[in-house]
A and B are shown apart, each in its own frame.
Chain A
Amino acid sequence: MNGIVGGTLGAGAALGGLVVVGVIIAVGLVLLLLFAGMYNGLVRRRVDADNGFSQIDVQLKRRYDLIPNLVETVKGYAAHERGTLEAVIAARSRAVAVPAGAVAERAQAEGQLTQALGRLFAVAESYPDLKANANFGALQEELASTENKIGFARQHYNDCVGRYEEARQAFPTNLVAAAFNFEKRDYFKVEEAAAREAPKVSFS
């Protein structure tokens, strides 16, 4: 009799132990999954931001490549606009020289290049022959579009940084972020006041 009672008691205790172990394993698994989800989420957002930044770089390089061609074309029609042309070339050189990673510095240099280009296109308005040149027209479209692409790439990068920073700072992902050294990412800020204005729709 005693043996049987002891046996069932023993089985009960073993069952209880099993339940405890099971609960511990289950909780551990859940925590592990939560951690993995948060960690992977942070990684994904960081990769998105990095991709976004490289996309800005691609467009900036494209703009560097287009400028010499543009300068040559304009020179043929408006050689005595030397000051404006040199300002563009100088701004381009300065922008190219900015070391990789210096986000704020780059934003400033690119802003100046945008302004110099804007002045060049404004000057071109008073040269009908230049405006009629097919090559100039194509370059203008390409540069205007590249300008837009830079803007959109920046917008996309900033969106990605926003999502990354939100995850990095919000509880509980901030714990994971701090433990695994997820570093702060800077927004790509626009220095130029004109670039902040909303574009206007034209009814033509």
Chain B
Amino acid sequence: MSRLGGQTGTAGPRMDDQMRQRVSAYPGTLTFLDLIAKNKRDSAVLMVFMVTFGVVIGGVLASAIAVYLGAAPDMQTLLPSIVLGGLVALIFGVFGAIWSWFGGASAILAMSGAREITKELDPELFNVVEELAIAGGIPMPRIYLIGDSAMNAFATGRDPQHAAVAITVGLRQKLTRDELQGVMAHEMSHIRHYDTRFAMLMATMAGLIVFACDAFWRIIWYSRGPRRSNSDREGGGGGILIIVLIVIAVLLAIVAPIVARLIQMAYSRQREYLADAGAVELTRNPLGLASALQKLGDDDEPLVDTANRGTAHMYIVNPLRKMRDAGQSLDSMFLSHPPVKERIARLLALAR
């Protein structure tokens, strides 16, 4: 396995046979119109699925808590808890969705410490973004700068009319114009494909499920446990039911956050490839983005200040350093981004 690192100085990153093979598998039939339609559909389906999933979790966890605290394990006593838990989850889900729809983008920009800039501050950056907006036939997004020396960039916004792109000072300074164009084209593709909407809703929902399960653990942990008088009254079959219910709830509380993250990350990885392809569709120059990814991959500084597992999926490369290069192992399922090498390989395939 030859190392891709280092600057070759001539024609972009090198490509070996293994890579050539991998890149030839690239699917080239998808157009961005299909993508947009698919993404909007996925967003809707996912919302319904996640809210339902959340309601079920809410109901099960609430009834488990009720039983744990001493309620009799029959349908009649548990029904109010189930309904209440489901209802609370539903309300949280709906409000979460509404919040992320209208306020998510600004919240993320504020969280990452980004500040909006005007054209006078950086004409070149503005021109590059405007060129790509024209190429993609979308409105000009707002542009934000993150005062961090690490190299990264992201896009957000529920649709192209309400979109923003953000780039760190570190990345802005280290890229040539062609590379900057590649990076921005990648971000603009996320906007154009409605990935930003999807990612936002997905992150909110996954976050809420994680939060619900976390709340469950805390309640179990801090409560004083089953009240003796009640569990004495129930005996035999009731006891087994209690155990079964609590085991199901515990399993759910362990598995649900993992499943939520897995779904989120699987989508995120796929979308990174598609945004890379979309970037090339805009710039018609795969080498610019490939070269930028090379620089990003070689960069050692993680963006720890403002990024966490919850926001990692938005960035152009994973801001959490240790997750950037992981190969084909099991934990690649939890990665928000495909390996940088693989992405460069696919880009070079387009430059053939």
Residues of A within 8 A of B (CB): 48, 51-52, 55, 59, 138, 141-142, 145, 148-149, 152-153, 155-156, 160, 198-204
Query: Which A residues lie within 8 Å of B134 (CB)?
Result: 55, 59, 149, 152-153, 156
Q: Which residues of A contact B287 (CB under 8 A)?
A: 200-201
Decide if A201 touches B291 in the complex (CB within 8 Å).
Answer: yes
In the bound complex, how far is the Cα of B128 from the Cα of A198, in angstroms? 17
B113 within 8 A of A: no
Q: Is B124 engaged at the interface, CB distance under 8 Å to the other chain?
A: yes
Considering the complex, give the chain A residue whose CB is closest to the CB of B285.
A199
A198 touches B284 (CB 8 A): yes
Q: Check: B179 CB closer than 8 A to any chain A CB.
A: yes
Chain B residues in 8 Å Cβ range of A204: 176
Cβ-defined contact, A51 with B137, below 8 A: yes
The chain A residue with its CB closest to the CB of B128 is A145
Whether A141 contacts B127 in the complex (CB less than 8 A), given A48-B137, A152-B134, A155-B135, comes out as: yes
Find chain A residues with CB under 8 A from B291 CB: 201, 203
Q: Check: B12 CB closer than 8 A to any chain A CB.
A: yes
Shortest distance between the CB of B238 and any CB in chain A (Å): 56
Q: Mark B117-148, 1 if CB is under 8 A from A, else 0.
A: 00000011001101110111100000000000
Whether the pair A202, B137 counts as a contact (CB closer than 8 A) is no
Contact of A148 among B8, B9, B131, B136 (CB under 8 A): B131
Tell yes or no: B178 within 8 A of A by CB: yes
Q: How far is the CB of A180 from chain B (nearest CB, A)?
A: 23
Query: Which residues of B sit under 8 angstroms from A148, Cβ to Cβ?
Result: 127, 131
Q: Is the CB of B178 within 8 A of A141?
A: no
Inter-chain contact B178/A201, CB cutoff 8 Å: yes
Query: For residue A59, which residues in chain B have a CB less than 8 angstroms away from its CB?
Result: 134
Residues of chain B from 221 to 256 with CB closer than 8 A to chain A in the complex: none
Whether A152 and B132, one on each chain, are in contact in the complex, defined by CB atoms closer than 8 angstroms, is yes
Closest chain A residue to B292, Cβ basis: A201
| Size category of the binding interface on chain B | 20 to 34
**B12 and A201 contact, CB distance less than 8 A:** yes
Complex alpha-carbon distance, A155 and B135, angstroms? 7
Is the CB–CB distance between B178 and A152 below 8 Å? no
Contact pattern, B 133-175, Cβ under 8 Å of A = 1, otherwise 0:
0111100000000000000000000000000000000000000
Q: With A and B bound together, what is the CA distance between A160 and B31 in angstroms?
A: 13
Q: List 17 A-B contacts (CB under 8 A).
A: A48-B137, A55-B134, A55-B137, A142-B123, A149-B131, A149-B134, A152-B131, A152-B132, A156-B135, A199-B178, A199-B288, A201-B178, A201-B179, A201-B285, A201-B287, A203-B8, A203-B176
Determine the chain A residues whose CB is within 8 A of the CB of B308 once the complex forms: none
Instruction: Give the complex CA separation of A204 and B137 in angstroms.
Output: 31
Cβ-closest chain A residue relative to B11: A201
Complex alpha-carbon distance, A200 and B181, angstroms: 13
The CA-CA distance from A53 to B127 in the complex, in Å, is 20
B7 in the interface (beta carbon within 8 A): yes
**Chain B residues within 8 Å of A48, by CB:** 137
Residue of B9, B12, B124, B134 with most partner-chain A CB within 10 A: B134
| B9 & A203 in contact (Cβ 8 Å cutoff) | yes
Pick the contact of A155: B127, B128, B176, B284 (CB < 8 A): B284
CA distance A21 to B7 in the complex (A): 74
Whole-angstrom distance between the alpha carbons of A160 and B285 in the complex?
A: 20
Docked complex Cα distance between A142 and B12 (Å): 27
- Measured in the bound complex, the distance between the Cα atoms of B285 and A55 in whole Å is 22
Report the bound CA distance from A59 to B131 in whole Å.
10
* Cα-based distance from A59 to B128 in the complex (angstroms): 14
Report the bound CA distance from A168 to B287 in whole Å: 35
Cβ distance A52 to chain B, nearest Cβ, rounded Å: 7
Nearest residue, chain B, Cβ from A202: B176
Contact A142 B176 (CB under 8 A): no
Q: Is the CB of B130 within 8 A of A201?
A: no
A204 to B173, CA, bound (A): 12
List the A side residues contacting B290 at CB < 8 Å.
201
A198 touches B176 (CB 8 A): no
Q: When chains A and B are docked, how far (Å) is the Cα of A184 from the Cα of B115?
A: 46
Q: Mark B71-84, 1 if CB is under 8 A from A, else 0.
A: 00000000000000
Residues of chain A contacted by B128 (CB below 8 angstroms):
145
Closest-by-CB residue of B relative to A163 is: B33
On whether the beta carbons of A198 and B131 are closer than 8 Å, the reply is no
Q: Which residue of B lies closest to A55 (CB)?
A: B134
- Nearest residue in A to B291 (C-beta to C-beta)? A201
A sample of 8 more A-B contacts (CB under 8 A), given A153-B135, A202-B176, is: A138-B123, A149-B134, A156-B135, A156-B137, A160-B137, A201-B12, A201-B287, A203-B176
Closest to A51 in B: B137
Residues of B within 8 A of A52 (CB): 137
Looking at the assembled complex, report how far the CB atom of B281 sits from the nearest CB atom of chain A, in whole angstroms: 9
Q: Give the residue name and chain of the B residue nearest to A201 (CB).
A: B287
List the A side residues contacting B176 at CB < 8 Å.
201-204
Q: Which residues of A contact B284 (CB under 8 A)?
A: 155, 198-199
Q: A138 — nearest CB in chain B belongs to which residue?
A: B123
A202 touches which of B127, B132, B135, B178 (Cβ 8 Å): B178
Given contacts A48-B137, A198-B285, A201-B288, contact A149 B179 (CB under 8 A): no
